[in-house]
Amino acid sequence: MHSTRQHLIVIFAAAIVVVGAALASQYWGGLQPCELCLIERWPYYAAIVIAVLALAIPVAGWPRAALLLLALVFVASAVLGFYHVGVEQHWFRGPVACTSSNRVPQTLAELKQMLAHTQVVMCDQVQWSLGGVSLAGWNFIASALIAIYAYFAWRQRA
């Protein structure tokens, strides 16, 4: 049976690996993130902070409570990942700024406004996939697995 500290280290490492892979794909791989991609990173940043605080401040009960908090953070992250996959598959409407509307501007003023408010990288366009699964899909899978791991680690009596 693993200790709460070991579980926190595993979750911390997983969050670092996922964020590291996202940043590497951006800065070395040339994949520019869309608005939703950037938002999907925030739960990982929060998880890193929570895990570090739980490891650094071993107040009675806090590390174990942090596991439950981490489970909830990664459930939220999985929901964000699922939403992004839905936007890519056109199941859901995405944010206006990063989703193609297929609307043709009727005037020069409309065209200027559309260009000023449209991001270069669209949320509903898959830039890269592995095994037919987009990065948003892989984020959903990773987040769900980490959420399940954190929940069962929290349930464990250590």
pTM: predicted TM-score of the whole model, two decimal places? 0.83
Q: Residue 131 CA to chain centroid, in angstroms?
A: 19
**Could you give the 3-state DSSP secondary structure of residue 130?**
strand
Give the pLDDT score at 152.
96
Bridge partners of 58, per DSSP, are none
Q: What's the whole-number mean pLDDT along residues 94-107? A: 69
Question: At a CB cut-off of 8 Å and minimum separation 6, what does 135 contact?
Answer: 22, 25, 31, 37, 127, 128, 129
Distance between CA atoms of residues 58 and 42, nearest Å: 24
Taking residues 113-140, what's their average pLDDT?
Answer: 81
Domain topology for 4-94+124-155:
Bromodomain-like (1.20.1550)
Does residue 52 or residue 121 have the better pLDDT? 52
Summarize pLDDT for 31-79 with one digit per residue, the tens: 889 989 999 999 999 999 999 999 999 788 999 999 999 999 999 999 9
Of 43, 54, 53, 52, residue with least CA distance to 19: 43
User: Would you place residue 138 in the very low, low, confident or very high pLDDT band (cuts 50, 70, 90)?
Assistant: very high
- Provide the pLDDT confidence category of residue 97 given band limits of 50, 70 and 90: low
